């Protein structure tokens, strides 16, 4: 526990460093994952501090326009040295924000999902052995909800497409509006599940079922059952989206688990990720890993 706390402290200190990097290098944002919480989203938001006060655009059918790139991988780790050389500077000392300097973005820890007491040992075992047990380390898709909020949304009146460029590969979801879940009881569950959406006023509500239990809810052993039911809510406010994800799995959780994010419209394109190739599996000699701040 102390180790986790100390890592968390360093990670939070890193936000000050990130703020400085952002000012100097323009951009520093990161992976769409429920690991380190709001951090990267806060950094993206800090690039456009007045985004929420912009007018909220609507499409022809009157609904808010959710299209756009809302999150992408970071850059800004590179420190150029002369014309041809560079150093990746993520491992340098972590300065704290100086008085009068840019404020450190806020990182609010996510709540932990509350497992049934008898399942705590399983979470710990999976966490302790995550080098082997975490399928994303071996290039398997994180799936919903671990994949995180959509990085890009393409919206039509009849369907939305959520796009994700992830270290594990390029993933997508096609989500019909006012559609129905598959009625085929023999249809196999999938990593991103069976998603349908409807508008609740200005909020898009996405209902996800038929999720495989091969995935986790998040990092560090947060397993779930095949009975997992996910509801995402997206509400555009200016050039931001208020996003929430609620995972309900009464088989393993005491109560539904909700995560929230503020997404900020980004001007960048969502670049294709190179393929993921698991070259490491045979070379681990122990279970050493990094705990993520939560």
Binding residues (CB under 8 A) for other proteins: these are 7, 10-11, 14-15, 17-18, 25, 30-31, 33, 35-36, 39, 73-78, 80-94, 130-131, 134, 136-137, 139, 142, 166-169, 219, 273-277, 279-280, 282-293
Residue number with CB closer to other proteins (32 or 68)? 32
Distance CA 234, CA 71 (A): 14
Element (H, E) at 23: helix 2-25
Q: 130, 124 in Cβ contact below 8 A?
A: no
Residue number with CB closer to other proteins (171 or 235)? 171
Cβ at position 149, least distance to other proteins in Å: 14
Cβ at position 42, least distance to other proteins in Å: 12
Q: How many CA atoms lie within 13 A of 44 on its CB side?
A: 29
Residue number with CB closer to other proteins (56 or 260)? 260
CB atoms within 10 A of CB 207: 17
Residue number with CB closer to other proteins (133 or 207)? 133
Cβ at position 276, least distance to other proteins in Å: 4
Contact residues for 260 (Cβ-Cβ < 8 A; gap 6+): 242, 243, 244, 245
Paired with 290 in beta bridges are none
Cβ at position 14, least distance to other proteins in Å: 5
Phi, psi of 110, rounded to the nearest 5 degrees: -70, 150
Residue number with CB closer to other proteins (130 or 262)? 130
Cβ at position 114, least distance to other proteins in Å: 21
Residue number with CB closer to other proteins (242 or 292)? 292
Per-residue burial over 48-79, b if 16 or more Cβ lie within 10 Å, else e, is beebbeeeeeeeeeebbebbbbbbbbbebeee
Residue number with CB closer to other proteins (72 or 235)? 72
Cβ at position 31, least distance to other proteins in Å: 5
Distance CA 280, CA 171 (A): 22
Paired with 235 in beta bridges are 203, 242
Distance CA 261, CA 7 (A): 22
Residue number with CB closer to other proteins (1 or 88)? 88
Classify 26 in phi/psi space as left (phi over 0), alpha (psi -120 to 50) or beta: left
Cβ at position 234, least distance to other proteins in Å: 22
Q: 108, 37 in Cβ contact below 8 A?
A: yes
Cβ at position 177, least distance to other proteins in Å: 30
Q: 22, 49 in Cβ contact below 8 A?
A: no
């Amino acid at each position: 526990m102390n180790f986790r706390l100390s890592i968390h402290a360093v990670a939070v200190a890193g936000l000050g460093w990130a703020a400085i990097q952002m000012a100097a290098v323009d951009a520093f944002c990161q992976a769409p994952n429920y690991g380190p919480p709001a951090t990267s989203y806060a950094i993206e938001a800090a690039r456009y501090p007045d985004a929420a006060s912009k007018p909220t655009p609507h499409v022809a059918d009157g609904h808010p326009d959710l299209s756009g790139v809302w999150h992408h991988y970071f850059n800004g780790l590179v420190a150029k040295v002369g014309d041809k050389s560079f150093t990746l500077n993520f491992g340098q000392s972590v300065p704290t924000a100086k008085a009068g300097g840019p404020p450190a973005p806020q990182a609010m820890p996510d709540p932990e999902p509350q497992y049934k007491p008898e399942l705590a040992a399983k979470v710990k075992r999976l966490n302790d052995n995550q080098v082997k047990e975490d399928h994303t380390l071996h290039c398997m898709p994180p799936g919903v909800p671990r994949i995180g909020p959509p990085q890009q949304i393409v919206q039509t009146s009849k369907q939305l497409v959520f796009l994700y460029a992830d270290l594990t590969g390029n993933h997508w979801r096609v989500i019909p509006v006012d559609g129905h879940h598959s009625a085929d009881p023999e249809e196999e569950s999938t990593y991103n599940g069976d998603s349908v959406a409807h508008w609740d006023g200005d909020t898009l509500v996405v209902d996800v079922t038929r999720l495989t239990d091969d995935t986790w809810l998040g990092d560090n052993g947060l397993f779930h059952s095949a009975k997992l039911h996910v509801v995402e809510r997206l509400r555009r406010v200016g050039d931001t989206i208020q996003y929430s994800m609620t995972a309900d799995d009464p088989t393993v959780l005491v109560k539904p688990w909700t995560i929230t994010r503020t997404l900020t419209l980004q001007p960048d394109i969502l670049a294709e990720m190179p393929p993921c190739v698991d070259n490491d599996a045979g070379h681990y000699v122990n279970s050493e890993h990094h705990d993520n701040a939560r």
